[in-house]
């Protein structure tokens, strides 16, 4: 019996040594995963247009946007969007273009026929939350930040297409995942999570890209869908895009003429 017990013990130890990777081996696997993740991100940048995409300074878009509530569309409206690197945005809505939302840094304003008012804090907070996770910031800034960690998460399915998943984790402990088409190397979906400030549970924000066109050497998604916890909240369908037209900073400035009502 002692002989068989000794054999069993030695066998268990051997299996344990086989199944548990040594620290050096685990580190090598992590390094290889990081290298593969970075290579995929570089392929994505090249697929988007390479240096032309990296040199985008401003974007002008025209199209139609649809808002959703609990998955149901609340109707669409024409829109004109103007964006300037790194943190300026102007959105003009309706045929008359008389409903305007401006973001400049951490500030936001809403302009209507009544005048110019500070943007509602809850809406502005949503914009501030999404801004660091845009493709432009992730692929132009995150991958070069000190302390950022890159992870190759393997094959995945995104929007019924085969993809490879890459996750970036920055020094502020913020994480974002990109699902990259295995054939085109273009991003299919971007996803990140955050804690709800009111209920303290984790929310998931997704953005899906489709209907790609090449404009001025830059490969551009003309269909963009935004989702919150799996439910569609907004869709934008573009019909015109222009890059680097030299948008003036004055387009992103506003003077408050209406003070918000105190709650």
pLDDT in tens, 108-166: 999 999 999 999 999 999 999 999 999 999 999 999 999 999 999 999 999 999 999 99
**19 has a pLDDT exceeding 60:** no
Asked whether 66 and 58 are in contact (CB, 8 A), the reply is no
Average pLDDT over residues 94-116: 97
The whole-number pLDDT of residue 196 equals 87
Which one, of 158, 206, 205, lies nearest residue 183 by Cα? 158
Cis peptide before 86 (omega within 30 of 0): yes
pLDDT confidence bin for 262, thresholds 50/70/90: low
- Name every residue whose Cβ is closer than 8 Å to that of residue 1 and which is 6 or more positions away in sequence: none
**36 has a pLDDT exceeding 50:** yes
Percentage of residues of the chain with pLDDT beyond 70? 87
How does strand 187-195 pair with strand 175-181? antiparallel
Could you report the per-residue pLDDT of 186-224, keeping only the tens digit for each? 999 999 999 988 788 999 999 999 999 999 999 999 999
Could you report the per-residue pLDDT of 160-190, keeping only the tens digit for each? 999 999 999 999 999 999 999 999 999 999 9
Q: Which residue has the tokens 């974002």?
A: 176
Domain ranges of the chain: 26-252
Burial of 176 (0-12, 13-18, 19+ CB in 10 A): buried
**6 has a pLDDT exceeding 70:** no
- At the fourth CATH level, which superfamily is domain 26-252? Lipoprotein localisation LolA/LolB/LppX (2.50.20.10)
Rounded to two decimals, what is the model's pTM? 0.87
How far apart (Å, rounded) are the C-alpha atoms in residues 147 and 121? 32
Which one, of 65, 84, 87, 86, lies nearest residue 76 by Cα? 65
SS (HEC) of the chain? CHHHHHHHHHHHHHHHHHHCCCHHHHHHHHHHHHHHHHHHHHHHHHHHCCHHHHCCCEEEEEEEEEEEECCEEEEEEEEEEEEECCCEEEEEECCCCCEEEEEECCEEEEEECCEEEECCHHHHHHHHHHHHHCHHHHHHCHHHCCCCEEEEEEEEEECCEEEEEEEEECCCCCEEEEEEECCCCCEEEEEEEEECCCCCCEEEEEEEEEEEEEECCEEEEEEEEEEECCEEEEEEEEEEEEECCCCCHHHHCCCCCCCCCCC
């Amino acid at each position: 019996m002692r002989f068989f017990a000794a054999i069993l013990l030695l066998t268990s130890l051997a299996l344990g040594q086989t199944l548990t990777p040594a620290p050096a081996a685990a580190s090598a696997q992590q390094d290889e995963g990081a290298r593969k993740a970075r290579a995929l991100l570089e392929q994505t940048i090249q697929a988007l247009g390479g240096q032309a995409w990296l040199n985008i300074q401003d974007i002008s878009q025209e199209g139609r946007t649809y808002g959703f509530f609990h998955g149901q569309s609340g109707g669409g409206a024409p829109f004109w969007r103007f964006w300037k690197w790194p943190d300026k945005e102007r959105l003009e809505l309706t045929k008359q273009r008389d409903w305007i939302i401006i973001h400049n840094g951490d500030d936001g304003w809403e302009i209507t026929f009544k005048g110019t008012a500070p943007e509602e804090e809850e809406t502005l907070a949503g914009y501030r939350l999404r801004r660091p996770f845009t493709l432009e910031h992730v692929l132009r800034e995150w991958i070069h930040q000190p302390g950022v960690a890159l992870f190759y998460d393997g094959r995945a399915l995104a929007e019924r297409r085969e993809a490879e998943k890459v996750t970036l984790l920055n020094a502020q402990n913020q994480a974002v995942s990109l699902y990259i088409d295995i054939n085109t190397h273009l991003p299919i979906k971007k996803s990140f999570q955050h804690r709800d400030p009111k209920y303290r549970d984790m929310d998931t924000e997704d953005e899906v890209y489709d209907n790609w066109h090449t404009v001025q050497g830059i490969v551009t998604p003309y269909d963009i869908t935004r989702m919150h916890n799996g439910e569609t909240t907004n869709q934008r369908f573009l019909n015109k895009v222009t890059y680097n037209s030299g948008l003036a900073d004055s387009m992103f400035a506003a003077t408050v003429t209406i003070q918000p009502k105190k709650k």
